[in-house]
Structure 1
């Protein structure tokens, strides 16, 4: 092993020691041991250290073809100690800040979703129910049957549903590649041809049945 490779190995292992310390603090920050069961924490710990060992081994494999020397462990220890003494407080502040930003962004997206989608749909449903009750009272007062009222309400609901569904299919159709559009059009034409053939076959079969059966005297 040349001196250059040894230097790269030392620097990379020092960096891996620091990253191991950061990963350990991040792991403890999200784990919350007091709220977890002991057997679950034990499994998480084993998986965490296995992943970290594989990561260190992969970096070592890239640097010096995974040759283990005593200074490799010393470099890891030095990097971990340097992180604990110099970078831990700064890293935890940055980590907590990023978590806060992520949580606030998530809550903001949820509020926007509720404001622009959930509430309008809820208001629309309430309006449809109120309109249905009003029409029911109005039409029943004029002697309209219940089944006619139900059919009228179903038509109204269908109009409310059909417009957004048609718009969604229109947008999807515009986003589809031309090859897919051509394929769908061909399939649609083939289905129309099949329907026409079925009608012709049905008509021919009806004529054959009439000729074979004939009018009985």
Structure 2
């Protein structure tokens, strides 16, 4: 292996160390800000170290065909030390700012969703209720007028058919007494009267 390849491998390991420190601080800040359960942290640590090992091996394989030498560990150590001495605080601040910006953006999007979608739907729902109530009141009013107009004709019709209905009623009265239909009809009539009083005499 030439000297230039060794320096290139060492530089790649140094960058890998910087990346490992950045990712580690980043996921730690995210887990703290998002209040992950504490039992998740060991699981995340294992996942992190497995992913870091795979990435480092991939970089090492690309730079020197996967040969493990002392300068590989030296490069990783230098990268990690430089990161924690110079960049760790900056990365933590940037990650916290990004989390705050994402939260702010989500809050703005939810507010826009409420203003543009939720509130118009609620307004249309309330408007529909008002229209339905108005239509119901108008229908009841018109029905009352129609009943008042039809009432004289109904009385006239009842007077005209009375000679026919009287014998029929006498014939049916024996059956109604036998089946106690009169009491049932009275109860039904009282129910109709109460409903009529409730709906049309407000």
**TM-score when scaled to structure 1?**
0.62
1:65-144 aligned at under 5 Å gives the runs 65-143=65-143
Over the aligned positions, Cα root-mean-square deviation in angstroms equals: 1.8
User: Which range moved further: 61-70 or 79-88?
Assistant: 61-70
Deviations 1:177-214 (A, max 9, x none): xxxxxxxxxxxxxxxxxxxxxxxxxxxxxxxxxxxxxx
Q: Distance in 2 between matches of 1:85 and 1:65?
A: 31
> Hey, what's the Cα distance between the residues in 1 that align with 2:140 and 2:118?
33
Deviations 1:32-85 (A, max 9, x none): 3985143x3322221111111111111111111111111111110110000000
Equivalent in the alignment of 2:37? 36
SS of 2:66's equivalent in the other structure is: coil
Gap change, CA 1:35 and 1:109, over 3 Å in 2: closer
Q: 2 CA distance for matches of 1:108 and 1:128?
A: 29
Q: What secondary structure does 1:67 align onto?
A: coil
Q: 1:73-108 deviations in whole A, cap 9, x for unaligned?
A: 111011000000011122222222222211111111
SS in 2 for 1:142: helix
Task: Give the unaligned 5+ runs of structure 1.
Answer: 145-217
Q: What TM-score, normalized by structure 2, do the two folds share?
A: 0.66
Bigger RCO of structures 1 and 2 (CA < 8 A, at least 6 apart): 2
Say if 2:57 and 2:66, in contact at 8 Å, map to a contact too.
yes
Distance in 2 (alpha carbons) for counterparts of 1:102 and 1:75: 35
CA–CA separation in structure 2 for the residues paired with 1:89 and 1:42: 23
Which ranges in structure 2 are unaligned for 5 or more consecutive residues? 145-202
The superposition leaves residues 143-183 of structure 1 with CA deviations (integer Å, 9 ceiling, x where unpaired) of: 29xxxxxxxxxxxxxxxxxxxxxxxxxxxxxxxxxxxxxxx
